[in-house]
C-alpha cells in the first residue's frame, strides 16, 4: 500500500518493508522534512468502499469534490465518519476539503453565482464540516473584473 509505505519513507528510523507490491530493503530517507513525523497525506475522491476507507486509515486530509452536491457531500462525510469508527480513529483528526469550479459574476446571471451566493455556498459547506474549499474560477470570469 503506497500510503503505508510513504509514511515509513519519512520516518527517522529504517526498516525492511516487504509487501505484495513493494519490497524495500531499507526505508531510510535523507529527506529533511520540516513537518514531523511526515508531510500531511491528502487523499482525494469520494469512493465509499475504498477511497474513504483509506482516508480513515491513512490520511491526514481528504478532498471530496463539490460535484456530489450538498446532500451527496453530507452522505460522503457520514460514510467517512463510519469508516473512522470502524478503525477507531477520531473523525475530527481528518481535515476535510472540497474543490469545485465556480462561475462567478457580479449579479449571478445565466447560471453563474454572485459573490454573495459564493459566500452562502461556502457557509453551507462549512456547516457540513468542511475545513477548506478550493475554488477554481471559470475562465468566463476574469478576477480583475470581480475586484473592480
pLDDT tens, 48-69? 999 999 999 999 999 999 999 9
d(CA 96, CA 76): 11
Does 13 share its domain with 48? Answer: no
Q: Are residues 97 and 62 in the same domain?
A: yes
Residues 73, 31, single domain; the answer is no
Could you tell me the pTM of the whole model? 0.75
CA–CA gap between residue 148 and residue 143 (Å, rounded) = 9
The answer on 68 and 126 residing in a single domain is yes
Among the ranges given (11-15, 20-24, 36-40, 112-116), the one the predictor scored with the smallest mean pLDDT: 11-15
Residues 3 and 64 in one domain: no
Q: At which residue does the C-alpha cell 456547516 appear?
A: 127
Helix H, strand E, coil C: the string for 82-109 is HHHHHCCCCHHHCEEEEEEEECECCCCC
Q: What average pLDDT does the structure give for the chain?
A: 83
Whether residues 72 and 3 share a domain: the answer is: no
- Which domain, by its residues, includes 121? 40-147
Q: What value does the mean pLDDT take over residues 25-40? A: 68
71 and 8 within one domain = no
**Using alpha carbons only, what angle is made at residue 17 by residues 11 and 22, rounded to the nearest 5 degrees?**
110
- At 80 the pLDDT is 98
Q: Are residues 104 and 130 in the same domain?
A: yes
Count CB atoms within 10 A of the CB of residue 65. Answer: 17
> pLDDT tens, 66-123?
999 999 999 999 999 999 999 999 999 999 999 998 888 889 888 899 999 999 999 9
pLDDT of residue 148: 46
Domain count of the fold of the chain: 2
Query: 1 and 73 in one domain?
Result: no
Q: What is the CATH number of the domain that holds 95?
A: 3.40.50
Question: C-alpha dihedral over 69, 73, 74, 77, to 10 degrees?
Answer: 180
From CA 128, how far away is CA 133, in angstroms rounded? 12
Task: Kindly state whether residues 81 and 129 are assigned to the same domain.
Answer: yes
Amino acid at each position: 500500500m503506497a500510503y503505508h509505505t510513504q509514511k515509513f519513507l519519512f520516518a527517522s528510523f529504517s526498516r525492511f518493508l516487504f509487501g505484495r507490491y513493494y519490497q524495500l530493503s531499507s526505508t531510510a530517507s535523507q529527506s529533511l522534512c520540516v513537518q514531523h513525523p511526515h508531510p500531511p497525506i491528502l487523499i482525494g475522491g469520494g469512493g465509499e468502499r475504498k477511497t474513504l476507507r483509506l482516508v480513515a486509515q491513512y490520511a491526514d486530509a481528504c478532498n471530496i469534490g463539490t460535484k456530489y452536491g450538498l446532500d451527496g457531500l453530507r452522505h460522503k462525510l457520514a460514510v467517512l465518519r463510519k469508516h473512522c469508527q470502524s478503525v477507531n480513529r477520531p473523525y475530527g483528526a481528518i481535515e476535510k476539503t472540497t474543490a469545485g469550479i465556480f462561475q462567478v459574476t457580479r449579479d449571478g446571471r445565466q447560471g453563474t453565482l454572485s459573490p454573495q451566493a459564493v459566500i452562502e455556498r461556502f457557509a453551507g459547506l462549512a456547516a457540513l464540516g468542511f475545513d477548506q474549499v478550493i475554488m477554481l474560477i471559470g475562465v468566463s470570469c476574469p478576477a480583475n473584473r470581480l475586484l473592480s
